Amino acid sequence: MKKTVFILLVLMVTSLSASVIDEYPSQKILESKVPVVDIRTPSEWKESGLLKGAIPIMFFDEKGGYNIDAFIAELNKKVDTKKPFALICHT
């Protein structure tokens, strides 16, 4: 279920020409100044750290619930979603 919601989310917030990369942000991405949004939970950030310069915006709460409207509103406040950006998730 979580993967399905995440995939739908990615499709909603990215353009049709977006690409999905199934790996941690490469040095090339980091050097490109593309905003990196970390959508993991605070406990996941504690477990593995938060990438320097990443924008932390939780998608799922600690209990596995989510509020898509609140997430999209927060994302739109912090990132220009009309331009490329990268997402980091736990999955």
Residue among 89, 90, 78, 69 nearest 35 (CA): 78
**C-beta separation of 38 from 91 below 8 A:** no
Confidence of residue 4 (pLDDT cuts 50, 70, 90): low
| 63-79 pLDDT tens trace | 989 999 999 999 999 99
Phi, psi (rounded to 5 degrees) for 50: -115, 125
CA angle 66, 68, 72 (to 5 degrees): 130
User: pLDDT (tens digit, 9 = 90+) per residue, 21-59?
Assistant: 555 666 776 677 889 999 999 999 999 999 889 999 999
CA of 48: how far to CAs of 38, 43, 89, in Å?
12, 9, 12
